[in-house]
DNA sequence: CGTCGTTAGCGCCCCCTGCTGGC
DNA sequence: GCCAGCAGGGGGCGCTAACGACG
């Protein structure tokens, strides 16, 4: 345990300390350094560097309490932003590193400079950010507009003031509620100019457009294949890495896709949800039913495209078609 | 100006689907 | 025929950034 870790371990808040890593609780030298009460941490997990051009001593401090000298900054990356990455003296934990907001000129972390600004959650220009920048006291995300910070802070407070009158589901933002309500009303304001398919959300229309443009922005890291959606790239890459995150509840067999696991679990449950309407056989997979249907179509080649009824003679199909609006024949 | 409601846009997770091919 | 592998693509939600009307 390094001196920072033991400092936090003694009960000090890790405020003003950010650490690199992915989502989830963050540890430094086995001590959790994630600020208490924070929920949404993605901004925090990005290590952002502020470029000082010389080595400097760094002090981390929790408001007016005891402060901790953590070390000296030796090397700094070039393309950096708001935070300064710090190597802790005598710390062997290289998996997570510590950063703090630094004033380029004084070398002080920002809260030493302007404690009153902290109260307002606003940072002055001396801290290397545009004057009037607002920040969240929980996760240190920064905002140029106070209103956007106010919206953000609802996330930490769990405040969801917008409520769907139909299903009572709640939302942090008005526009998210509006989007949600369209799932009840079926309203689809976004229409594809090419095929006229309509969508309830702009983002889903944008995804759809890749069908027409052929655009595949998500490239596999292991082979030349590319995909229209990131999810599908990740799914595909598992075929290279062998990762199988989903395991069967009954036998433990592992799968790359959740839906494949669910398909497999029906082997154990005996669930056959796909019924043949012609002979009342049922199947565990839709594709097996489709294959099976060929058996019926072989004997009755005249098939109504509308209702899938099939007939041995064309005249019977035509008779049927008088009632059914579809007259296509295979 | 600052405030505040609204809009644009991105990223993510989830789910269902259809084809395929080995046994 | 049963079952697993794999890709396509829509539904829905969370969040940030920015816009614009209005005091
Ligand atoms: Zn926050
Ligand atoms: Zn609802
Ligand atoms: Zn289209
Ligand atoms: Zn690949
Ligand atoms: Zn049948």
Residue A107 lies in a domain: no
Q: Find the Å distance, CA of residue A207 to C1' of nucleotide C2.
A: 35
Residue A176 lies in a domain: yes
Residue A246 lies in a domain: no
Total domains, chain A: 2
Residue A163 lies in a domain: yes
Q: Are A195 and A203 in contact (CB under 8 A)?
A: no
Alpha-carbon span A305 to A42, nearest angstrom: 50
CB < 7 Å to strand C — which of 49-68 in chain A? Answer: none
Alpha-carbon torsion angle A57, A58, A63, A64, nearest 10: -20
What does the pLDDT average to over A179-197? Answer: 95
Contact between the CB of A34 and strand C at under 7 Å:
no
For A116, A123, A136, A305, the CA distances from A119, given in Å and listed in that order, are 5, 10, 11, 69
List the one residue out of A270, A15, A285, A224 whose CA is nearest residue A137: A15
Q: Find the Å distance, CA of residue A194 to C1' of nucleotide C21.
A: 35
Residue A255 lies in a domain: no
- Centroid of ligand 1 to alpha carbon of A39 (angstroms): 8
Q: Which residue is nearest to nucleotide B10 (CA to C1')?
A: A203
Q: How many CA atoms are closer than 13 Å to the CA of A229, on its beta-carbon side?
A: 11
Residue A203 lies in a domain: yes
- pLDDT confidence band for A280 (50 / 70 / 90): confident
CB-proximal residues (5 Å) to ion ligand 3: A 192, 194-195, 197
DSSP A177-242: HHHHHHHHH----EE-TTT--EESSHHHHHHHHHHHH----EE-SSSS-EESSHHHHHHHHHHHH-
- Ligand in nearest proximity to the CA of A310: 5
Q: Look at the alpha carbons of A101, A106, A112, A113 in this order and tell me if their dihedral is positive or negative.
A: negative
Q: Are A109 and A102 in contact (CB under 8 A)?
A: yes
- Ligand in nearest proximity to the CA of A293: 5
What is the CATH classification number for the domain harbouring A151? 3.30.160.60
CB < 7 Å to strand C — which of 192-251 in chain A? Answer: 197, 199-201, 203-204, 207-208, 210-211, 225, 227-229, 231-232, 235-236, 238-239
pLDDT of residue A286: 79
- Centroid of ligand 1 to alpha carbon of A28 (angstroms): 21
- pLDDT confidence band for A244 (50 / 70 / 90): very high
Q: Which residue is nearest to nucleotide B13 (CA to C1')?
A: A231
> Cα angle at A279 between A274 and A282, to 5 degrees?
25
Residue A37 lies in a domain: no
| Chain C nucleotides reached by a protein CB under 7 Å | 1-19
| Chain B nucleotides reached by a protein CB under 7 Å | 2-21
Q: What ipTM does this complex have? A: 0.91
pLDDT of residue A14: 42
Contact between the CB of A206 and strand B at under 7 Å:
yes
- A53-62, A113-122, A126-135, A246-255, range with greatest mean pLDDT: A246-255
Q: Are A202 and A192 in contact (CB under 8 A)?
A: no
- Domain limit, last residue, from A181, A215, A249: A215
Alpha-carbon span A328 to A293, nearest angstrom: 18
Q: Are A284 and A263 in contact (CB under 8 A)?
A: yes
Contact between the CB of A294 and strand B at under 7 Å:
no
- Domain limit, last residue, from A196, A215, A234: A215
pLDDT of residue A130: 62
- Domain limit, last residue, from A215, A235, A256: A215
Residue A35 lies in a domain: no
- Decide which of A273 and A267 is more confident: A267
What does the pLDDT average to over A102-107? Answer: 36
The boundaries of the domain holding residue A177 are: 140-215
């Amino acid at each position: 345990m390094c001196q920072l870790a033991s400092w936090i371990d003694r009960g000090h808040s890790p405020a003003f300390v950010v650490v690199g890593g992915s989502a989830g609780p963050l540890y430094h030298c086995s001590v959790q350094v994630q600020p208490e009460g924070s929920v949404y941490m993605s901004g925090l997990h990005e290590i952002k560097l502020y470029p000082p051009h010389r080595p400097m001593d760094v002090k981390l401090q929790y408001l007016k309490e005891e402060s901790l000298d953590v070390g000296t900054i030796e090397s700094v990356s070039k393309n950096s932003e708001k935070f300064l990455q710090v190597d802790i003296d005598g710390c062997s934990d290289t998996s997570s590193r510590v950063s703090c907001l630094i004033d380029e000129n004084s070398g002080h972390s920002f809260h030493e400079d302007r404690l009153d600004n902290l109260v307002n959650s606003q940072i002055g220009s001396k801290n290397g950010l545009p004057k009037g920048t607002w920040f969240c006291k929980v996760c240190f995300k920064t905002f140029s507009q106070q209103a956007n910070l106010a919206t953000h802070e609802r996330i930490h407070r769990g405040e969801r003031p917008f409520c769907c009158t139909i299903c009572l589901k709640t939302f942090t933002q008005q526009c998210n509620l509006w989007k949600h309500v369209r799932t009840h009303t079926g309203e689809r304001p976004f229409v594809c100019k090419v095929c006229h398919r309509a969508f309830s959300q702009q983002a889903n229309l944008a995804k759809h457009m890749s069908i027409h443009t052929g655009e595949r922005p998500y490239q596999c890291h292991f082979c030349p294949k590319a995909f229209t959606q990131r999810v599908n790239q990740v799914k595909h890459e598992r075929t290279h890495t062998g990762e199988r995150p989903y395991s069967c509840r009954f036998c433990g067999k592992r799968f790359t896709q959740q839906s494949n696991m669910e398909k497999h679990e029906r082997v154990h449950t005996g669930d056959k949800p796909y019924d043949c309407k012609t002979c009342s056989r049922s199947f565990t997979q839709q594709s097996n039913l489709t294959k099976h249907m060929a058996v019926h179509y072989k004997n009755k080649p005249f098939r109504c495209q509308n209702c899938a009824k099939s007939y041995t003679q064309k005249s019977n199909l035509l008779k049927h078609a008088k009632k059914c609006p579809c007259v296509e024949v295979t």
